């Protein structure tokens, strides 16, 4: 009896949305207890990030009726996290964020099952992300957002009229905070703007002139970037700096301290070193809570159609008073990520190896270290080594044969490209057309013979 009473109390507010009709509901919304039960049984949500915003998201989603959650995060808990990431305690320092956050929410909210993944988002196979109904982002990195966005958009398929197929749309809810400011947005690939469509919303990262770093540093950030950009290469030669390697970060911090002492500059701390090197944005607990609430509500609306979703970008500013605004941005129809795909015409005799070489030369792509998949089948994988060995023999086969001798179809490629002088991982969707097959004529300049 007590358990039933607790369950009834917990779902009281949720029932007001799911058990009665309304004027703003979606066309498939049918009020009743079955809707609530289906939400708890069938809806699967992936939370990307278990930091300040991710902790709030896990709690809010669990309290909103979602019972099947998973969370992925590669970071371990640090002392500096404890002031705003409320699921963590002092004894948790050094433990994986995803694992501790999952454990704490399940301890407090009965019936919810949260599966943690302590790894990089790039470490998961693309098919892993396709298992979820909705992806909720609680990230502090533009690069990570861009990668998840490209993954979700890679599942999108278009019909012959270039209209997105509804069953292939992977909804995303993205939240972000910076001090007293924040945003929440709904991304329906092919319908609303994806992350790349509005990448211009994010200001460019601050860059310091190298001459200032090397000769006249004036701030703690200058000392840190000197150690990061100049000193590291002088000492370590060809060893690439890994911002996610604690030993590498500690080395930069120690060198920055020496540099600061030499010029009498105060303020170099380990947390500041992380913030400068990884471009970490400062976070405030109250802003995280507000943005998380907006993201959880949008996730619930997408899953149940109990109301119309946000159209499509909410901004919040609590620096002076409180101000919120919703802006409806338009999708970029020529977007390389959420569009029908970059059109590439090749000769049927082109081998997979030649095709991969073409992608590195293509002016719109410039991809290196490419992996190729077609309809869920791995044609060639750069990593892990066991998959590379298994698919290596395909490199000498023609792409036409590997794609089942179809005259045209979509392939997904995963590789590395350069953006703002940094190498980043990205996914791209390619619409491949074979010349001379079923009357196909010259259509594109990608070439290949």
Q: Given phi > 0 = left and psi -120 to 50 = alpha, else beta, which region is 162? A: left
**Are 271 and 293 within one domain?**
no
Q: Is the pLDDT of residue 2 over 60?
A: no
Q: Is the dihedral of CA 365, 368, 373, 374 positive or negative?
A: positive
- Kindly give the pairing relationship between strand 342-346 and strand 323-327: unpaired
Q: What is the dihedral of CA 248, 250, 254, 257, to 10 degrees?
A: 110
Lowest mean pLDDT among 309-313, 367-371, 402-406, 414-418: 414-418
Domain ranges, residue 375: 342-448
Identify the H or E element spanning 98: helix 97-108
Instruction: Average the pLDDT over 4-24 and give the result.
Output: 77
CA separation for the pair 357, 367 (Å, rounded): 9
Three-state DSSP at 55 gives: helix
- 228 and 147 in a single domain? The answer is no
Residue 184 in any domain: the answer is: yes
Share of the chain above pLDDT 70, in %: 92
Question: Does residue 285 contact residue 52 with C-beta atoms inside 8 Å?
Answer: yes
**pLDDT exceeds cutoff 90 at 444:** no
Contacts of range 397-406, beta carbons closer than 8 Å, 24 or more positions apart: 397/351, 397/352, 398/348, 398/349, 398/350, 398/351, 398/352, 399/346, 399/350, 399/351, 399/352, 399/355, 399/432, 400/348, 400/349, 400/350, 400/434, 400/437, 402/352, 402/374, 403/374, 403/432, 406/434
Calculated CA dihedral for residues 119, 300, 147, 277, nearest 10 degrees: -70
Active-site residue flag, 194: no
What are 12's two structure tokens? 């009281």
**6: pLDDT strictly greater than 70:** no
Structure-block tokens of residue 437: 């097959």
How far apart CA 242 and CA 239 sit, in angstroms, is 9
Q: Average pLDDT, whole number, for the chain?
A: 86
* pLDDT given at position 443: 42
Q: What is the mean pLDDT of residues 341-365?
A: 88
Judgement on whether residues 319 and 349 belong to the same structural domain of the protein: no
Q: Binning pLDDT at 50, 70 and 90, where does residue 207 land?
A: low
Last residue of a domain, one of 277, 298, 313: 277
Compute the average pLDDT of residues 62-90.
90
Instruction: Tell whether 225 and 361 lie within a shared domain.
Output: no
Rounded average pLDDT over 158-166: 83
- Cα–Cα distance measured from residue 408 to residue 424, given in angstroms and rounded to the nearest whole number: 29
User: Is 19 inside a domain boundary?
Assistant: no
- If one counts every other C-beta atom within 10 angstroms of the C-beta of residue 77, the result is 24
Concatenating the DSSP letter of every residue in 204-270 gives: PPP---HHHHHH---SHHHHHHIIIIIIHHHHHTTPPP-TT-HHHHHHHHHHHHHHHHHHT-----H
CATH of the domain at 389: 3.10.290.20
- Please give the angle made by the CA atoms of 252, 258 and 263, to the nearest 5 degrees: 125
The terminus-to-terminus CA distance of the chain in angstroms comes to 74
Measured over the CA atoms of residue 302, residue 306, residue 311 and residue 317, the dihedral's sign is negative
Q: Are 184 and 173 in contact (CB under 8 A)?
A: yes
Please, which residues have CB within 8 angstroms of residue 17's CB and are 6 or more apart in sequence? Answer: 300, 304, 306, 307
Q: Are residues 114 and 225 in the same domain?
A: no
Domain shared by 305 and 395, yes or no: no
The two three-digit tokens of residue 43, written as one number: 């809806």
Q: Is residue 131 located within the same domain as residue 248?
A: no
Q: Count CB-CB contacts under 10 A for residue 431.
A: 18
Mean per-residue pLDDT, 326-354: 88
Both 306 and 260 in one domain: the answer is no
Does 364 share its domain with 320? no
How many Å apart are CA 285 and CA 404, to the nearest integer? 53
Judgement on whether residues 386 and 429 belong to the same structural domain of the protein: yes
Q: Is 422 exposed, middle or buried (0-12, 13-18, 19+ CB in 10 A)?
A: exposed
For residue 143, tell me if it sits in a domain. Answer: yes
Residue 182 lies inside a defined structural domain of this protein? yes
Residues 73 and 184 in one domain: yes
Report the distance separating Cα 299 and Cα 279, nearest Å.
Answer: 28
- Catalytic hit among 211, 223, 295, 306: 211
User: 194 and 271, same structural domain?
Assistant: no
Chain segment 251-306, per-residue pLDDT in tens: 999 999 999 999 999 989 998 898 888 776 667 889 999 999 999 999 999 999 99
Answer whether residue 441 shows pLDDT above 50: no
């Amino acid at each position: 009896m007590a358990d039933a009473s607790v369950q009834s109390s917990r779902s009281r507010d949720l029932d007001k949305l799911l058990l009665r009709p309304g004027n703003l509901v979606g066309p498939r919304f049918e009020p009743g207890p079955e809707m609530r039960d289906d939400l708890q049984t069938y809806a699967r949500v992936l939370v990307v990030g278990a930091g300040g915003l991710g902790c709030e998201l896990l709690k809010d989603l669990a309290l909103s009726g979602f019972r099947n959650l998973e969370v992925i995060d590669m970071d371990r808990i640090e002392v500096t996290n404890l002031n705003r990431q409320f699921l963590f305690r002092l004894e948790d320092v050094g433990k994986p964020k995803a694992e501790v956050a999952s454990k704490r929410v399940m301890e407090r909210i009965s019936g919810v099952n949260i599966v943690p993944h302590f790894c990089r988002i790039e470490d998961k196979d693309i098919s892993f992300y396709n298992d979820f109904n909705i992806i909720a982002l609680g990230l502090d990195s533009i690069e990570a957002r861009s990668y998840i966005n490209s993954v979700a958009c890679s599942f999108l398929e278009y019909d012959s009229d270039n209209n997105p197929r509804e069953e292939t749309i992977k909804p995303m809810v993205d939240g972000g905070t910076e001090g007293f400011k924040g945003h929440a947005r709904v991304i329906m690939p092919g319908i609303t703007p994806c992350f790349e469509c509005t990448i211009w919303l994010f200001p460019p990262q601050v860059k310091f002139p190298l001459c200032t770093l090397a000769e006249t540093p004036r701030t703690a950030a200058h000392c840190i970037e000197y150690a990061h950009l100049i000193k590291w290469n002088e000492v370590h030669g060809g060893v690439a700096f890994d911002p996610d390697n604690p030993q590498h970060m500690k080395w930069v911090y120690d060198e920055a301290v020496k540099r600061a002492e030499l010029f009498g500059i105060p303020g170099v701390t380990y947390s500041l070193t992380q913030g400068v090197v990884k471009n970490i944005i400062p976070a405030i607990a109250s802003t995280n809570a507000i943005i998380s609430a907006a993201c959880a509500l949008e996730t619930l609306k997408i899953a149940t159609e109990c109301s119309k979703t946000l159209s499509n970008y909410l901004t919040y500013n609590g620096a002076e008073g409180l101000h919120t605004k919703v802006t409806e941005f338009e999708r970029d129809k020529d977007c390389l990520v959420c569009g029908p795909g970059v059109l590439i015409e090749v000769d049927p005799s082109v081998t997979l190896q030649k095709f991969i070489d073409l992608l590195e030369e293509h002016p719109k792509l410039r991809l290196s270290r490419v992996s190729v998949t077609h309809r869920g089948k791995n044609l060639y994988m750069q990593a892990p080594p066991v998959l590379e060995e298994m698919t290596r023999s395909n490199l000498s086969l023609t792409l036409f044969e590997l794609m089942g001798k179809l005259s045209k179809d979509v392939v997904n490629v995963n590789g590395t490209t350069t953006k703002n002088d940094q190498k980043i991982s990205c996914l791209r969707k390619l619409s491949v057309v074979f010349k001379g097959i079923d009357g196909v004529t010259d259509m594109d300049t990608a070439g290949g013979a």
